[in-house]
């Protein structure tokens, strides 16, 4: 049964089921007065009619094969539907770490081959748009509605645009829950993706990996089989949900957890994101925002690890600080 507004075609029953409740995310016109209010308050919103990446709505596989350029692109290979991100530079911190996916470098033509004959594996092209793309793609990129995003960047005092990640995924691919330290306009171009979001206030329910782990910022909880003995507060998690289709732009606020999945029977999905550094506050105001508290927790964790040189000493030391004194 097709569902959603207008000519949106997807079957809502075809997304994976999880154990927590979700509430919808507002979908508002870019000129609706509440849209800017939500962004100013760092709350997620699907913004319609931005025409942000309309020139990229034609970026199907054939077009990308023709214009993405003959360079090598970053493609992840996974034995499961999950593509849990990891920072390769941090693997040295954790010799026992086993990467859940393989990072491959291949041309788009080779990637197309993998899509046609994936075998038991799944593939996810995740490549920052850079100067190796073909001329036509540069023209499409220049044709993005930069007036709109530049105005938003100015209005909300965000830092510079750091990158635009091009995402080409197989139906059913999942990016597990994590948070980023950047503001994000996520533009859906082809196919349908469901995004589950959780506010930074739920940091204590989502159990991110320790900061020295390659999986820093990623939730330890396997949403398909949550280990409630290890992660009891996952029971309290309450999500926000939206299904994005071509032309939708989702504002993913910095520090908001998000879990992204391509509809299992969608066509190959294509998205492009716009990551911005967060703004700098000229004066600290109290009470601190939850985002500031997450940033403070990260800094404390980094400093303590730096000082102790041994992750095993973190828990006993922090317990001695807290137990019977602050709790």
List residues binding ligand QVQ (CB under 6 A): 167, 175, 180, 184, 186, 193, 252, 260, 271, 273
CB of 71 to ligand QVQ, least distance (A): 20
Residue 186 binding target from Zn ion, ligand QVQ, none, CB below 5 to 8 Å by type: ligand QVQ
Chain residues that interact with Zn ion, rule: CB under 5 A:
180
Residue 167 binding target from ligand QVQ, Zn ion, none, CB below 5 to 8 Å by type: ligand QVQ
Residue 188 binding target from Zn ion, ligand QVQ, none, CB below 5 to 8 Å by type: none
CB of 180 or CB of 248, closer to Zn ion: 180
Q: Three-state secondary structure along the chain?
A: CCCCCCCCCCCHHHCCCCCCCEEECCEEECCCHHHHHHHHCCCCEEEECCCCCHHHCCCCHHHHHHHCCCCCEEEEEECCCECCCCCHHHHHHCCCCCCCEEEEEECHHHHHHHHHCCCCCEEEEEEECCCCCCHHHHHHHHCCCHHHHHHHHHHCCCCCEEECEEEEECCCCEEEEECCCEEEEEEEEECCEEEEEECHHHHHHHCEECCCCCCECEECCCCCCCCCCCCHHHHHCCEEEEEECCCCEEEECCCCEEEEEECCCCCCEEEEEEEEECCCCCCCCCCCCHHHHHHHHHHHHHHHHHHHCCHHHHHHHHHHHHCCCCC
CB of 67 or CB of 240, closer to Zn ion: 240
CB of 306 to Zn ion, least distance (A): 26
CB of 186 or CB of 223, closer to ligand QVQ: 186
CB of 255 to Zn ion, least distance (A): 11
CB of 128 or CB of 308, closer to ligand QVQ: 128
CB of 83 to ligand QVQ, least distance (A): 7
CB of 256 or CB of 324, closer to ligand QVQ: 256
Residue 291 binding target from ligand QVQ, Zn ion, none, CB below 5 to 8 Å by type: none
CB of 105 or CB of 235, closer to ligand QVQ: 105
Closest residue to Zn ion, judged by C-beta, is: 180
CB of 160 to ligand QVQ, least distance (A): 17
């Amino acid at each position: 049964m097709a569902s959603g507004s207008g000519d949106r075609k997807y079957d809502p029953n075809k997304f994976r089921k999880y154990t927590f409740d979700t509430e919808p995310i507002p979908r508002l016109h870019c000129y609706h007065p509440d849209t800017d209010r939500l962004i100013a308050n760092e709350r997620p919103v699907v913004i319609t009619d931005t025409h942000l990446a309309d020139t990229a709505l034609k970026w199907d596989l054939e077009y990308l094969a023709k214009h993405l350029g003959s360079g090598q692109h970053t493609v992840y290979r996974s034995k499961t539907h999950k593509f849990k991100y990891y920072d390769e530079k941090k693997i040295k911190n954790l010799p026992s770490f086993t990467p859940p996916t393989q990072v491959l470098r291949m041309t788009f033509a080779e990637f197309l081959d993998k899509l046609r004959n994936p075998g038991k594996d799944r593939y996810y092209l995740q490549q920052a748009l850079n100067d190796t793309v073909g001329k036509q793609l540069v023209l499409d990129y220049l044709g993005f509605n930069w007036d709109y995003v530049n105005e938003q960047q100015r209005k909300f005092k965000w830092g510079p645009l750091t990158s635009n990640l091009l995402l080409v995924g197989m139906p059913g691919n999942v990016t597990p829950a994590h948070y980023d330290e950047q503001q994000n306009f996520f533009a859906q171009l082809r196919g349908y993706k469901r995004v589950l979001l959780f506010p930074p206030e739920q940091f204590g329910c989502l159990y991110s990996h320790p900061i020295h782990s390659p999986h820093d910022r990623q939730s330890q909880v396997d949403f398909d089989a949550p280990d409630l003995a290890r992660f009891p507060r996952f029971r309290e998690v309450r999500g926000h949900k939206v299904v994005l289709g071509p032309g939708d732009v989702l504002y993913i606020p910095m520090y908001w957890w998000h879990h992204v999945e391509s509809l299992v029977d969608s066509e190959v999905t294509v998205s492009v994101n716009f990551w911005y550094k967060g703004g700098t506050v000229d004066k600290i105001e109290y009470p601190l925002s939850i985002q500031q508290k997450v940033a403070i927790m990260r800094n404390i964790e980094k400093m303590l690890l730096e000082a102790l040189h041994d992750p095993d000493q973190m828990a006993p030391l922090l317990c001695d600080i807290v137990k019977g004194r602050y709790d």
